[in-house]
Structure 1
Amino acid sequence: MRFQNIHPTPMLQPGTNRWKILRDFLNKPRDVFPSHPLPHVQQDLRDYEGDHPRITWFGHSSYLIQARGINLLIDPVFSGHASPVPGMVKAFPGANTYGISQMPPIDLVIITHDHYDHLDRKTQLALAAHTKAYVCPLGVGKYLQRWGVPTSKIRELNWWESWNADVSETPLHLTAMPARHFSGRGLVNGKTLWASYLLQFAGAKIYLGGDSGYDNHFVQIGEKAGPIDLAILECGQYNLQWPLIHMLPEEAVQAAIDLQAKWLLPVHWAKFGLAYHAWDEPIRRVTAAAAKRGVSITTPQIGESILLQHHYPQTEWWAQKSA
């Protein structure tokens, strides 16, 4: 069985093939990579028990959500690379300053799909003994089992399937929702599902977009679940050769509007160069589009925290020339 998107979603535009993609990947422009170590915030994450959700971004699509003693880790990639071959897709200097040793005890690891920049073997091996539970889309659990996670700790979900996660005294309601993407860690795609998620806990609704091209599922989710306190949406690694599987920055802003999001946190940038645009082009474009459309956007540095209802960093830190 192969999983499919709601609407037909060819991964590549007509006239583009894998060999062209590989050639372009091996000949990326210099500005795909920053010319200096990225600035970041280093802080102690282990003791937060506040009432309001705190979200700490670690670059790309890895982040920690904490509130009322519960710790949720999303798509953690701390190995320093995002590829089957170490060193092929390396983290930018300054972008890989956090690791497992800096994490609090993790109640739940949330995986959106099986791609290497979201599901990292080395990181999961290190987390396995220190994590209460895992949630992932259908089929992704086989990787976790292979890496030593007991089946009893893994909960797989289909789109629109909900789970009241019994991982803490703090109630946590989680629903897997559609995304427009694909899956696969080798030559065969579509054997596992990809998903976004809606988290409801600590009096807040937080949408985890995972990887997704733009489609009408954002409107559907907004109508069912909106308003949403924070939408965490990808804004980078796009290209017109694959326009349906990753959003352009302007589409991310439209998705936030569709979701009825009060705030947008743009992710999927600032750690790995997986496309051909300048490393900071996504954030420059998404902040400009948000300003034009009247969307509230927060832009934390790597390692900096958002505190819902209280603190939404908005500095243009990417314009700094050194860490």
Structure 2
Amino acid sequence: MAAGAFGLSWVVRAAWRIPSAMGASISAIQPTALGATTYRDKQFHNTEPSSQITGNPAELLYQLFTQRDAGRPPGKIPLVKPELPEQAADLAVTWYGHASCLIEVDGYRVLADPVWSERVSPSPLVGPARLHPVPSPLADLPPLDAVLISHDHYDHLDRDTVDQLVATQSAVFIVPIGIGAHLRHWQVPEDRIVEFDWTASVSLSELGRAKDDGTDLVITCSEARHFSGRGLVRNTTLWASWSIAGPTRRVYFGGDTGYTKAFAEAGARLGPFDLTLLPIGAYDRHWPDVHMNPEEAVRAHADLCVGDAGYGLLVPIHWATFNLAFHGWSEPVQRLVAAAKEAGTRIAVPKPGQRIDPIGLPSGDTWWEDVRQ
């Protein structure tokens, strides 16, 4: 009886938390959205024609029932316990799975799209669950200088992770317009929230967070081609990619996006980039406008490197951790390797938890091929 009562109590608490986890109301978001570049008719819009879903709904429903498990790995995904230096490097990235990355640029540490929860959902009971554990606890992260969010989908913005970061870190949250309302709803202090429209920039010195040695970091909100929403209503908050530029190194964090002309524009204005972190998974023929496939990621890397496919390093994100589409688990990285080889693009595919330093790249590791029963 006691065990049953405890279980029921936990379910009640989990259900009670769902409305809060969903974030701010439309009325709370709208005041910050008014006047934004692409905001009209109470919604944000892509600058290029974009459909969230295309094709025959019956075909999509058939895929859902027949291919929904295609993205599960055939075996155990290997993890690496992150080994982080005391001082941040000039250039490095630690991939924690999906789009969660700890980026090191010219001595600064920036955490992008952190999601440490078991499910990407407002509920701890239902929704896509992890295909591998988090490589290390959130509390093990070193001091951060900034936290970036690309958009408000649950696999990129997680309420429980935000709560922990507020409690354990002092970093500022830099987010696209509208997402600040979610953070305020979750009691993030106002002085730790910075909201931006596309093309807007801020330096950490402007925020009073520059290093004592005088080095600075400039973070720019860049256009992406995607959509937003944490409930039935879509596109009430903006979506974005991010440029992170120090005195000597530049990193581009794609977040989640379809292929867009904005990559070439960002490359010309802000690049070339020494490191690109670009999504390669969760694509499908039914939503080609809002999720890149691996070949498009290679093309985007070349755009961001001002037409030079061989410049810099491409590290793939947005794959391996959650089953969000109908392709095979390792298909994204297999296609990426082939496309990168043909284009002459340098890539590195870390295991979850692995830190990649472009100077000392691991060579020839095809670890995903060993994920078997």
TM value normalised by structure 2 = 0.81
Match of 1:316 among 356, 359, 366: 366
Distance in 2, matches of 1:22 and 1:149, equals 39
Structure-2 residue corresponding to 1:151 = 190
Separation in 1, partners of 2:367, 2:247: 30
Alignment map for 1:128-207 (pairs within 5 Å): 128-129=166-167, 130-166=169-205, 167-169=209-211, 170-201=215-246, 203-207=248-252
Distance 2:178 2:68 in 1: 36
Kindly indicate which of the two structures has a greater share of residues assigned to helix: 2
Cα gap change, 1:52/1:171 in structure 2, threshold over 3 Å: closer, same or farther? same
Distance 2:173 2:283 in 1: 29
Q: Is contact 2:177-2:195 (8 Å) kept?
A: yes
What SS class does the counterpart of residue 171 from structure 2 fall into? strand
Aligned-residue offset at 1:36: 1.8
- 2:97 paired with 1:56: no
In structure 1, what is the equivalent of residue 51 of structure 2? 10
Instruction: Name which of 272, 282, 285 aligns with 1:237.
Output: 282
Question: What percent of counterpart residues are identical?
Answer: 38
Taking the aligned partners of 1:176 and 1:101, their CA distance within structure 2 comes to 27
CA–CA distance in structure 2, aligned partners of residues 16 and 106 of structure 1: 44
- Residues 82, 355 of structure 2: 8 Å contact kept: no
**Aligned equivalents of 2:271, 2:282: Cα separation in 1:** 27
Which range moves more in the overlay, 281-290 or 1-10?
1-10
Q: Which moved more, 1:67-76 or 1:57-66?
A: 67-76
2:137 is aligned with 1:99:
yes
Is 1:88 aligned to residue 127 of structure 2?
yes
1:52·1:309 contact (CA, 8 Å) conserved in 2? no
Give me the whole-angstrom Cα distance separating, in 1, the residues matched to 2:267 and 2:92.
Answer: 22
Please, what is the CA RMSD of the aligned residues?
Answer: 2.0
Q: Which amino acid aligns with 1:219?
A: A
Distance 1:271 1:291 in 2: 24
Unmatched tracts of structure 2, length 5 or more: 1-41, 306-310
Contact 1:265–1:297, Cα closer than 8 Å, also in 2: yes
TM-score by length of 1: 0.92
Conservation of the 8 A alpha-carbon contact between 1:299 and 1:313: no
**Residue pair 1:78, 1:98 contacting (<8 A) in 2 also:** no
More displaced 10-residue stretch of structure 1: 133-142 or 220-229:
220-229
Determine whether 1:114 maps to 2:164.
no
When Rg is computed on C-alpha atoms for both structures, the one with the higher figure is 2
| CA distance 1:153–1:317, change in 2 (3 Å) | same
Q: Which residue of 1 aligns with 2:18?
A: none
Measured at CA, do residues 151 and 314 of structure 1 come closer, stay the same or move farther in structure 2, by a change above 3 Å? Answer: farther
CA distance in 1, matches of 2:347, 2:341: 8
Deviation sequence 1:118-174 (CA, Å, 0-9, x none)? 001111111112232110000001111111211111000110001012324041101
Q: Figure out how many residues of one structure are paired with residues of the other and give that number.
A: 319
Task: Measure the CA separation in 1 of the matches of 2:117 and 2:60.
Answer: 25
Equivalent residue in structure 2 for 1:283, among 333, 354, 362? 333
- Measure how far apart 1:202 and its partner are: 5.3
Is 2:288 the partner of 1:249? no
Tell me what 1:34 maps to: 73
